[in-house]
Structure 1
Amino acid sequence: MALKDDLQTAVAAIFADKWSKRDGTVVPGENSLTLGNDGIDIEATVLYADISDSTKLVDTHKHFFSAEVYKAFLRCAARIIRDNGGSITAYDGDRVMAVYVGDMKNSSAARTALKINWCCKSLIQPALKKQYPDEGYVLHHTVGIDTSTMRVAAAGIRGANDLVWIGRAPNWAAKLCTLPHDYSTWITKAVYDKLEDKSKLATDGRNMWEARSWTAMDNNTIYRSNFWWPL
């Protein structure tokens, strides 16, 4: 009964306690928040990068091969994220989440996505084929990006807690990652409208982004791209 009593007390306190909140301008760290109703509100852009069809990958290949694909993708994505000003906030299997802040957060996140696309096609896939010339596996991925105000809070229990990101951007960015990998990058209109020309237009002046109607999300306008940005 002790566990039940402890949880009843904890849940009641979560719903009853007032929030202590403040505005943030940098990505919070794991020690920035307590486990109480303590929150930081932040304007930020969220990027999710995800291997497509990873369930099929692990179901049809040896564990060592799947692990190598995971590691190669996540290593490259993480390095590109950091090199373009993003902060890595979580890994989840074959997926990485990153947060960008500042005046250029949307352009930086979009540039990250295009560089990840180049890396998958021009670096990881050739290396995979060189090591495994008889292997027919082709790495596909998706990147989803959205921007909004979010509340960051610590959740879990003492010694086993993590930051949670509550708001539209993390939710929509994650959902964008489930869209078809025929187009590797998906962004919301809120992101597109803030892009600098360099992150919007190719060197020949073509718009790198194509508008679509997101029927599953009340026909919101989103943009997709198959362009890449060489490292």
Structure 2
Amino acid sequence: MQQTVIGKSEQAAIFHEAEQKGLRLAIKGRLVALILMGGWLIATRSGNPTLAFEYGTAVAIFAILGVIHYRIIGTAQDRYWVKYLFVALDIGILSALIATQPIFDTVDLPQAVIFRAPIFPFYFVVLGIAAFSFSPGLVLWAGICGVAGWMGAFGFAIRNMPQTYDWGDMGIAPDTQTFMTYFYSPDFIGTGSRIQESIALFIVACLIASVMWRARHTVRRQIEAEQERSAISDVFGQYVPPAVAEVLISKRGTLSPIEREATILFADVADFTKLTETIGPKGIVEVLNAYFDAVSQIITRHHGVITQFQGDAVLATFNVPVEDDDHAGCAIRAAREINDLVHQRDFAGIHIQTRIGICTGTVIAGSVGGGGRQSYTVHGDTVNLAARLEVMNKELGTDVLISGTTTKYLAADDFRKIGQMDVRGLSEPIDLFTFAAAGELNVPTDNVPATAS
């Protein structure tokens, strides 16, 4: 099994890709916002063609900048500072318009009057767009640029005013007349209000950046946890079945005992002792490794779980611990593929034969052990019967013996009845089947004089 490792560089690449997708989405949203806000501003000033043209030009400039940025994202020209540049350009252009463009060009009033209009929320729109980037740094940068742009525009607008009034000029407790005289004066600038707005913008930027940082931290921890889980599963899966390893990890190391109908497949190498004497210990280990590897792949592919390697034998379960309604069919297909495989190829240069027993019935499965060590095992008469059927292949001259409790779930034409076997504890004998050869009829033969305990 190949272990997947996600290093810091790969994590950075994941976040970078998320930022790029977020920026593209943000630019699309920005365009929609431009159309809505620009359309409103132009429509409400349709009676003043000059002013409407100026707003239209400004909207067009913002749109062009967005298209340029969109086309740069993900290209060779895309650098880490590019997104910061375009946010600064957005806020810079917005601030320049606020600092220089009057509300109405037909009214002779100080430019500071524009700060009484509802234009400050535009900075929050830029901040919200920056949040799509999934980048805390960009959000903070947008907040800092917004504060600098807002206060810079304010400073530029009041720089040449010969006389200004501020909140302090009203006194601590002004009466109505005094308040209205100062507040509605064209020379009232409200410096404290501008500072308060800037503080609010920066606080919101910090809050959004904190949320972004926490979200990135959470995603990073999930990636690391998934990496650790994958590593544990890969290593653990070398010693227990991968399906069992996954369940054990999710259950934190234990599998509660369950009683469930399952299909058991028991496969053994024929004449194993003789083969060992012929090719020696080293040779037999090479043969078994090649054989077990191939068999494991087949069983896993058919949703089975190998619970034990017993010398040269393989014990596989279907429907425990992972549920599968087609467990009988899966076991039969796995057995047929294993049987075909050993007839078609050698293992480490040696040709072998297998005997397979399959039985369906109730089993008890779970983690058992002691001394701090546990293993996943299955128990019950069904397991014993599958092992007995494997042995009986030698007596009957078959490669695969299948219990009638398994074949009843499948098409009868696929099997040939061998006979019956008496089982201690059961009132009725169990029918025995093997795979039907091409053109072979499914006809019963004589009873098999065998008893299983």
Per the normalisation by structure 1, the TM-score is 0.69
Indicate the SS of the match to 2:333: helix
Measured in 2, the distance between the counterparts of 1:89 and 1:215 equals 27
Contact kept in structure 2, 1:72 and 1:124, CA below 8 Å: no
Q: 1:70 to 1:51 in 2, by over 3 A?
A: same
Structure 1 counterpart of 2:421: 214
Structure 2 counterpart of 1:10: none
Contact kept in structure 2, 1:49 and 1:77, CA below 8 Å: no
Structure 2 counterpart of 1:122: 344
Q: 1:53 to 1:166 in 2, by over 3 A?
A: same
Alignment of 1:189 with 2:422, yes or no, is no
Report the Cα offset of residue 225 of structure 1.
Answer: 2.8
**Structure 1, residues 34-90: CA drift from partner, whole Å, max 9, x if none?**
59xx52122211111111121221123222221222122211111100111111211
Q: 1:59 aligns with which of 256, 277, 285?
A: 277
Q: 1:169 to 1:227 in 2, by over 3 A?
A: farther
Correspondence 1:89-108 to 2 at 5 A? 89-101=307-319, 102-108=324-330
Report the Cα offset of residue 93 of structure 1.
Answer: 1.2
Contact kept in structure 1, 2:263 and 2:317, CA below 8 Å: yes
Q: 1:227 to 1:141 in 2, by over 3 A?
A: farther
Larger strand share, 1 or 2: 1
Q: 1:208 to 1:43 in 2, by over 3 A?
A: closer
Q: Which runs of 5+ in 2 are unaligned?
A: 1-242, 439-453
CA RMSD of aligned residues (A): 2.8
Measured in 2, the distance between the counterparts of 1:110 and 1:27 equals 21
Q: 1:150 to 1:122 in 2, by over 3 A?
A: same
- Whichever residue aligns with residue 156 of structure 1, its letter is G
Q: Which portions of structure 1, spanning 4 or more consecutive aligned residues, are displaced by more than 6 angstroms?
A: none
Indicate the SS of the match to 1:177: helix
Structure 1 counterpart of 2:356: 143
Report the Cα offset of residue 121 of structure 1.
Answer: 0.7
Measured in 1, the distance between the counterparts of 2:356 and 2:298 equals 13
- Whichever residue aligns with residue 221 of structure 1, its letter is D
Contact kept in structure 1, 2:303 and 2:330, CA below 8 Å: yes
Measured in 2, the distance between the counterparts of 1:81 and 1:122 equals 18
Structure 1 counterpart of 2:290: 72
Per the normalisation by structure 2, the TM-score is 0.37
Paired residues in the alignment total: 184
Q: 1:169 aligns with which of 365, 370, 382?
A: 382
Report the Cα offset of residue 224 of structure 1.
Answer: 1.9
Contact kept in structure 2, 1:44 and 1:149, CA below 8 Å: yes
Contact kept in structure 2, 1:142 and 1:177, CA below 8 Å: yes
Q: 1:59 to 1:151 in 2, by over 3 A?
A: same
Structure 1 counterpart of 2:59: none
Larger radius of gyration: 2
Measured in 1, the distance between the counterparts of 2:298 and 2:416 equals 20
Structure 2 counterpart of 1:39: 257
Structure 2 counterpart of 1:48: 266
Q: 1:191 to 1:27 in 2, by over 3 A?
A: farther
Indicate the SS of the match to 1:85: coil
Q: 1:27 to 1:99 in 2, by over 3 A?
A: farther
The percent of aligned pairs where both chains have the same amino acid is 26
Structure 2 counterpart of 1:224: 434
